[in-house]
Amino acid sequence: MKNSVLYTQSTPAIIPRLIVGLVFLSEGVQKFIYPELVGTGRFIKIGFANPEFWANFTGAFEIICGLLILLGLFTRLASIPLLIIMLVAFVKTKIPILMEKGFWSMAHEYRTDFAMTLLLIFLLCYGGGRLSLDRKYFSNDTK
């Protein structure tokens, strides 16, 4: 019975950690592998000043924070820079779509960002769960 409770309570945090961690890790790596498409080139297209710096800075944070979230280490802290990245992405890429093409076009383009943002908010609020390094090293919970 005790093991089934542990499993049930741990699963909800594992799933968001896997989704968020793997997506951001993948996106961060791609900024370096395909800079013309999703790195510097994309940041030029969006209109960033000093696009190479910002693409590399963002990619590095996506990789580091994605790995931390996968491990469940400093989960809440690692969620914050990723939420900032999502906010900047919304302002720089989705608001212009809203203004030019309307709500439904923006909603279509924002669907993945919206899901990732909600998962990040979940991780910020609830942490990495029972099967995380946060729990192992930083929890006062003795169960």
Per-residue pLDDT at 1 exceeds 50: no
DSSP letter for each residue of 89-119: HIIIIIHHHHHHH-HHHHHHHHHHHHHHHHH
Amino acid in the structure at residue 143: K
Kindly report, residue by residue over 65-115, the tens digit of the pLDDT. Answer: 999 999 999 999 999 999 999 999 999 999 999 999 999 999 999 999 999
Q: For 74, which DSSP code?
A: S
Please state at what angle helix 75-89 crosses helix 51-71, rounded to 10 degrees. 140
Per-residue pLDDT at 63 exceeds 50: yes
Question: Widest CA span of the chain, in angstroms?
Answer: 57
Helix (H) or strand (E) holding 123: helix 103-126
CB 48 within 8 A of CB 64: no
| pTM for the structure as a whole | 0.86
Per-residue pLDDT at 4 exceeds 70: no
List helix spans (H) across 34-102.
35-38, 40-46, 51-71, 75-89, 95-101
- Segment 56-62 shows an average pLDDT of 98
Kindly report, residue by residue over 7-51, the tens digit of the pLDDT. Answer: 445 567 899 999 999 999 999 999 999 999 999 999 999 999 999
